[in-house]
């Protein structure tokens, strides 16, 4: 029988902005005090942390990335960035740079609760930009970095070319409305069929219960401010994962970033059968496998 997964809500504070955090692991930490490696999941532009990473799809098991990695032995956390999900909405548009401050506030909570000062960070899409920028700003808090559905300069990216056509709309307001049709479009824009029927619908239902608009800051950043990350400033081991059909970046753009990373512990993995939202795709088990293998790589015997 599978071990029971324990969960709890937390709140981080960024100034007077309250940020919602969600944690899952096997065993109540009040009783099970043995430290587990911390994995911090960073959400992207269009849906909040628990909705994306802890999705429970009726009659379809194994859609929660948090449950999966908790079962692998990790202490898994996520956070709703400013203006998303259960976190405070402000007059700001929650750009990438604000996301870095959010993650710092979240990391303070993790340090307080776990006693661990560094975590492995996973980010998807603009969440990967937030996570990479955080690793640059606070290298002492990032021991490994996984960048999924990442984009560096944005040069030639089909999704961003399309998105930039609405730049006036993204800059006219600090939020953009989201509805069911929009959420469904995320899962079909690259390659229809890479996600099971019912997954996008469940995600839409879940997210629309808590919001009907999300901030525009990351869209503005990705259309007009790239690059927002400097690979030469990232020092920890890095895994770049790319779904075969992801239109958010070209392969050349990602390899350029990869080549500039100074660390010699780095991996570039392309996974067929996946699109932009790898962790909710039909072939997500292949994504889990790659991510788990990277996180569990043995250390160097000459540095122990």
Partner 1 sequence: MTNPITNMPNDPGDIQGEEHWAKRDDIDLFLFRRYSPTARAANPDKPVLFLVHGSSFSARTAYDLDIPGQGDYSLMRTFAGLGYDVWTMDHEGYGKSTHTDGFSYIADGVEDIKAAAPIVEKVTGKKSFCFFGSSSGALRAGGFANACPDRVEKLVLAALVWTGEGSPTLKKRAEKIDEWRASNRRTVDEAAYLNIFNRDVSGLTIPELPAAAAKAEMDNGGGSVPNGTYIDMCVNLPVVDPTKVDCPVMIFRGDHDGIATDEDVLGFFTALPNSDKQLVMVSGQAHNTTIGINRGRFWHSLDGFLGMPGRVDQ
Size of the site for partner 1 (CB under 8 A): 33
The Cα–Cα gap between 10 and 283 comes to: 31
Which residue from 12, 229, 271, 277 is in contact with partner 1, where contact means CB under 8 A? 271
Interface with partner 1, residue 73, by CB under 8 A: no
The Cα–Cα gap between 80 and 100 comes to: 12
CB of 83 to partner 1, least distance (A): 35
- The token pair at 126 is 């603009």
The Cα–Cα gap between 83 and 19 comes to: 9
Using CB under 8 A as the binding rule, the residues of this chain from 190 to 209 that contact partner 1 are 193-194
Among 69-77, 97-105, 116-124, 254-262, which window interacts with partner 1 (CB under 8 A)? 254-262
Strands (E), the chain: 5-14, 17-26, 38-42, 75-79, 119-124, 142-148, 175-177, 213-215, 238-243, 266-271
CB of 209 to partner 1, least distance (A): 29
Interface with partner 1, residue 286, by CB under 8 A: yes
Residue 230 or 252: the one with the smaller Cβ distance to partner 1 is: 252
Interface with partner 1, residue 165, by CB under 8 A: no
Among 2-10, 37-45, 51-59, 261-269, which window interacts with partner 1 (CB under 8 A)? 261-269
Find, among 130, 80, 86, 74, the residue nearest to 109 by Cα: 80
The Cα–Cα gap between 261 and 207 comes to: 35
3-state SS, residue 20: strand
Residue 165 or 300: the one with the smaller Cβ distance to partner 1 is: 300
Interface with partner 1, residue 262, by CB under 8 A: no
Interface with partner 1, residue 265, by CB under 8 A: yes
Q: Contact 54/22 with Cβ under 8 angstroms?
A: yes
| Residue 251 vs residues 22, 104, 138: alpha-carbon distances, Å | 33, 30, 27
Which residue from 23, 81, 101, 266 is in contact with partner 1, where contact means CB under 8 A? 266
Interface with partner 1, residue 300, by CB under 8 A: yes
Interface with partner 1, residue 276, by CB under 8 A: no
Residues that bind partner 1 (CB under 8 A): 193-194, 244, 251-252, 255, 258-259, 263-273, 282-283, 285-286, 289-290, 293, 296-298, 300-303
């Amino acid at each position: 029988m599978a071990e029971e997964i324990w969960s709890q809500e937390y709140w981080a504070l960024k100034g007077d902005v309250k940020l919602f955090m969600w944690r899952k692991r096997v065993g109540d930490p009040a009783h099970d005090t043995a430290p587990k490696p911390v994995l911090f999941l960073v959400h992207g532009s269009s849906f909040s942390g628990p909705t994306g990473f802890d999705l429970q799809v009726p009659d379809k098991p194994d859609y929660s990335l948090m449950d999966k990695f908790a079962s692998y032995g990790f202490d898994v956390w996520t956070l709703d960035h400013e203006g998303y999900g259960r976190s405070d909405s402000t007059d700001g548009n929650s750009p990438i740079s604000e996301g870095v401050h959010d993650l710092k506030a979240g990391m303070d909570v993790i340090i307080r609760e776990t006693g661990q000062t560094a975590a492995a960070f996973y980010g998807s899409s603009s969440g990967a930009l937030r996570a990479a920028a955080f690793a640059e700003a606070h290298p002492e808090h990032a021991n490994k970095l996984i960048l999924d559905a990442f984009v560096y300069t944005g040069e030639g990216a089909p999704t961003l070319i399309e998105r930039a056509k609405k730049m006036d709309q993204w800059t006219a307001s600090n939020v953009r409305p989201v509805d069911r049709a929009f959420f469904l479009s995320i899962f079909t824009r690259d390659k229809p069929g890479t996600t099971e029927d019912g997954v996008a619908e469940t995600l839409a239902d879940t997210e629309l219960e808590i919001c009907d608009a999300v901030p525009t800051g990351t869209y503005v950043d990705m259309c007009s401010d790239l690059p927002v990350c400097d690979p030469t400033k990232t020092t920890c081991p890095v895994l770049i994962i790319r779904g075969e059909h992801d239109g958010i970046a070209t392969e050349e753009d990602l390899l350029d970033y990869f080549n500039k990373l100074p660390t010699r512990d780095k991996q570039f993995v392309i996974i067929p059968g996946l699109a932009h939202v790898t962790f909710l795709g039909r072939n997500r088990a292949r994504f889990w496998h790659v991510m788990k293998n990277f996180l569990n790589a043995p250390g160097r015997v000459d540095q122990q």
